[in-house]
Amino acid sequence: MVNLSDGPLITNAFHGRDYEYSIQVNRWLLQPIGAWPNLSKTSRTQKLLSRILNVACHTLIILTILPCVLYILYEDESVTARMKAVGPMSHWLMGELNYCCLLMRSSDIAHCVQHVEHDWQIVQNANDRKLMLKNAKIGRFVGCMAAVCMHSGILLYNTITGFKKIAFHVGNDSYSMYLLPCPVYTNLLDVRFSPVNEIVFALQFLSGFIVTSVTVGACGLAAVLAMHACGQLNVVMARLNELVDTREEEKREGTQVAQRKLGFIVEHHLRTLSLMEYIEKVMNKICLVELVGCTMNMCMLKYYFLTEKSKEVLVIYAIIYVSMVFNIFIFCYIGEIIQEQVFKTSFAYLNMIRTITM
């Protein structure tokens, strides 16, 4: 492995590996559900496969949401049973809304991803690369944590619910059936008997994986892009601090050294601001859906804590609750950290101007 010094690099020989490190988790989450953007190097076959995945995912999610909504509205069940169905239905609905947002903003996401790739290609200083890798590591860690928490909670909930049997009566006969993560309106489809019960459970299990991947992918994408933007602002601040130290060079070589460096800094800063504008376009509606949806689901989970008797299910509810708190925290945190970095960059500009003009 080549050791990098603190001096300048002719080219970033590691740009491919660095770029892959920064976006790898997001691609793993979004590509299987067709939400990863089609880049310039994407083949026609991959684009066609992505379209097929989009149709399949929309179909599976809607086939889970619609019967559950009808169950809540029209099924002859107790209020408690209907309330039990509101939480899962809300999670699936959030996933569908976020999925639509990701697909509608696919071109903007592609622009952000290509912007990130280009930023890694133009790194010419080992210190800049270290700053960028530090922020990429944080973004990757956030994406992994969100995936582990949310996927584990939803997977356990679907599994335990799907293997829990309940008894029901038809006339004088008694039968048993497996519960479904999202209840189905009986007049639309009778899922009490095999093999319909098993088929619907398998479809809901798959759609649960899809909506959870959408939620986690959106959270991870926001974290990675935001931390990359923070890394670029850190590079700008580092260059501004270096510019203050060029006064001795100016005395020997004139003002061209400082002018050239300042031109690079301003250009790099404008590129970063452009990226932040695209990040805002991509994430504004997703943030709204996540904040409203997670807040509602957290309220429902508190109700479930009070009414649930099974200790195993209570543990699962706790995991899901923690993952939703984590999601809300991440979306709030990335907004705060970007704002803080912008202020720090502004102060670095003011400090540079004050130092040079003294």
Q: What are the tens digits of pLDDT across the range 166-203? A: 777 776 777 778 888 999 998 888 888 888 988 999 99
> Which residue carries 């700053």 as its tokens?
131
Among the ranges 129-133, 250-254, 263-267, which has the highest mean pLDDT value? 129-133
pLDDT at 346: 85
Whole-number Å distance between alpha carbons of 92 and 87: 9
Quick check: is 245 in a domain?
yes
Whole-number Å distance between alpha carbons of 255 and 247: 9
For residue 155, count other CB atoms closer than 10 A to its CB. 16
Backbone dihedral region for residue 91 (phi beyond 0: left; psi -120 to 50: alpha; all else: beta)? alpha
The DSSP call for residue 31 is G
Q: What are the tens digits of pLDDT across the range 91-115? A: 999 999 999 999 999 999 999 999 9
pLDDT at 4 over 90: no
Quick check: is 238 in a domain?
yes
Outline where 163-255 has alpha helix (H).
Answer: 196-244, 247-253
Quick check: is 18 in a domain?
yes
Quick check: is 3 in a domain?
no
pTM tops 0.85, yes or no: yes
Count up the domains in the chain and report the number.
1
Quick check: is 291 in a domain?
yes
Backbone dihedral region for residue 38 (phi beyond 0: left; psi -120 to 50: alpha; all else: beta)? beta
Whole-number Å distance between alpha carbons of 143 and 210: 16
Quick check: is 7 in a domain?
no
H-helix or E-strand containing 166?
strand 165-170
Reported confidence tier of residue 12, pLDDT bands at 50, 70, 90: low
pLDDT at 258: 67
Reported confidence tier of residue 349, pLDDT bands at 50, 70, 90: confident
pLDDT at 6 over 60: no
pLDDT at 5 over 50: no
Q: What are the tens digits of pLDDT across the range 15-60? A: 889 899 999 999 999 999 999 998 877 788 988 999 999 999 999 9
H-helix or E-strand containing 278?
helix 256-307
Reported confidence tier of residue 11, pLDDT bands at 50, 70, 90: low
Quick check: is 5 in a domain?
no
Average pLDDT over every residue of 315-320 = 89
Quick check: is 236 in a domain?
yes
pLDDT at 203: 94
**293: domain range?**
14-357
